[in-house]
Amino acid sequence: MALQRLAALLVVLVVAGCGGSTPEKSLAVGAGSDAPTTLLAHLYAAALRSYGSAAHVERGADPLAELDTGAVEVVPGLTGRLLTRFDPDATARAPEQVYRSMISALPEGIGAGDYTQSAEDKPALVVTEATAQKWGARDVATVVRHCPGLTVGKVPGDPAPAVIATCRPPAATEFPTAAALVAALRSSRVTAAWTSTAVPETPDDVVVLSDKTSVIRAENVVPLYRRNELDERQVLALNEIAGELDTGSLADMLGKVASGSDPGAVADDWLSAHPLGH
């Protein structure tokens, strides 16, 4: 009888040992094939980890589609591009308007975290210093007055808005590299060139035109997430990025990635220098 009790006790102990707590699920943060979304995915994954949640980056052909199916739980993006994806006919251009319109257009079950008011990566026009002085202005709104005869260049893959306020410039001429594009700008082969507000470096002899009246649609960093799969603390972790990230930091990190640095390491280094929750 004593042997039977001992055997039963051993069975209980074995079962208890095998029934440990279930490991926490690692949240998948979706990233595309381009450097900006990959960097941002690593940034949000690092933010989640800093708040105690397991998280990793998962590359895919269409992260937004994977968010919809539940293959990933979080996807970073830019407000204007997301609005265009979910509501192609939307007309909002200013940052707050774009963000609110984007939220209204999101599919059911998808939520949006806070957008980074100080961090953007939207199309911008650059001209030479001589052109800026000739025009007498350094804001993109002045392009409207000089629309007739305007020629524009771009690098393949970079966005080029078809309309600038009431100006509809001709299709942008494509140049194979940024260096070739700048050379064309300097030689007056094109009047202006498309770039981005988060481009790591801009030559000293060109002027990035400001956009004080939101002529070009805002493109601020924002995280999307599956509503029923993140708790309040995890959403808070995503929102913390909005209070820390700015365009200068984004451009600096993209420059490091372009130089060959691992995007995950770059994101971790930035977060170490900008600890969340403080």
For 14, counting Cβ atoms within 10 Å of its Cβ (0-12 exposed, 13-18 middle, 19+ buried), the class is exposed
Q: For residues 109 and 100, what is the distance between their CA atoms, to the nearest angstrom? A: 16
For 41-83, how does the pLDDT look when each residue is reduced to its tens digit (9 = 90+)? Answer: 999 999 999 999 999 999 999 999 999 999 999 999 999 999 9
Q: Which residues of 192-205 are buried (b: 16+ CB within 10 A; e: fewer)?
A: bbbbbbbbeebeee
Q: For residues 67 and 65, what is the distance between their CA atoms, to the nearest angstrom? A: 5
Strand partners, 34: none
Closest CA to 119 of 45, 210, 198, 224: 198
Q: For residues 175 and 260, what is the distance between their CA atoms, to the nearest angstrom? A: 23
Asked whether 182 and 129 are in contact (CB, 8 A), the reply is: no
- φ, ψ dihedrals at 29, nearest 5°: -105, 115
**The overall pTM is greater than 0.85:** yes
Tokens of 163: 């309309």
Pairing of strands 27-31, 55-59: parallel
Predicted local distance difference test score (pLDDT) of residue 23: 67
150 CA to centre of own chain: 30
Q: State mean pLDDT over 150-178.
A: 93
Predicted local distance difference test score (pLDDT) of residue 7: 45
Q: Helix 95-105 and helix 79-86: axis angle, to 10°?
A: 40
Q: For residues 243 and 220, what is the distance between their CA atoms, to the nearest angstrom? A: 13
Which sign, positive or negative, has the C-alpha torsion 33, 159, 247, 189?
positive
Q: State mean pLDDT over 232-251.
A: 96
Tokens of 89: 């006919």
Asked whether 75 and 200 are in contact (CB, 8 A), the reply is: no
SS3 content of the chain, % helix, strand, coil (to 5): 45, 20, 40
Predicted local distance difference test score (pLDDT) of residue 9: 43
Q: For residues 155 and 166, what is the distance between their CA atoms, to the nearest angstrom? A: 24
pLDDT confidence band for 201 (50 / 70 / 90): confident
pLDDT exceeds 60 at position 2: no
Pairing of strands 55-59, 110-112: unpaired
Mean pLDDT across the chain: 91
Predicted local distance difference test score (pLDDT) of residue 200: 84
Predicted local distance difference test score (pLDDT) of residue 182: 95
pLDDT exceeds 90 at position 257: yes
For 127-137, how does the pLDDT look when each residue is reduced to its tens digit (9 = 90+)? Answer: 999 999 999 99
Q: Helix 35-50 and helix 247-258: axis angle, to 10°?
A: 110
Tokens of 221: 């960093």
Predicted local distance difference test score (pLDDT) of residue 12: 42
Of 25-29, 90-94, 146-150, 199-203, which gets the smallest average pLDDT? 199-203
pLDDT confidence band for 25 (50 / 70 / 90): confident
pLDDT exceeds 90 at position 15: no
Predicted local distance difference test score (pLDDT) of residue 204: 85
For 125, counting Cβ atoms within 10 Å of its Cβ (0-12 exposed, 13-18 middle, 19+ buried), the class is buried
